[in-house]
Amino acid sequence: MTETAGGQAHSAIQGKRQEKVGVVTSTKMQKTVVVTVERQGTHPLYKRVVRRSKGFMAHDEKNECHVGDTVRIEETRPLSSRKRWRVVEIIAKATLVAPVPEVQV
């Protein structure tokens, strides 16, 4: 950490970065994954619980993520025109389901 003129550490000035937890929905790009984050809220008029989701492009340096993985992403500097998040950790790996062979009669 570097000291500034005020004597504070550089990371303290930077502030708290947002973190979100979501599911990987696409890995079709190199070093980039699309993470879908769901949130719940009440509808302003009907007072029902509404689920909303949004996709975030996140940087995956080692290409470790796969579709279905639950990951934690963190806000970072702009890495490209649409990528402002990076994968911090993989919380849970996707469970693989073996395909059932078809029976021919």
| pLDDT tens-place string over residues 50-62 | 999 999 999 999 9
Domain tally for the chain? 1
| pLDDT tens-place string over residues 6-23 | 555 555 566 799 999 999
Q: What is the CATH number of the domain that holds 67?
A: 2.40.50.140
Sequence-distant (6+) residues with CB within 8 A of 61 are 31, 86, 87
- Give the three-state DSSP class for 14: helix
Residue 11 lies in a domain: no
Residue 83 lies in a domain: yes
Residue 43 lies in a domain: yes
The pLDDT assigned to 15 comes to 77
Residue 105 lies in a domain: no
The pLDDT assigned to 71 comes to 98
Q: How confident is the model at residue 103 (pLDDT cuts 50, 70, 90)?
A: confident
Q: How far is CA 87 from CA 34, 42, 53, 90, 103, in A?
A: 10, 29, 18, 8, 42
Residue 39 structural domain:
17-92
Residue 45 lies in a domain: yes
Residue 101 lies in a domain: no
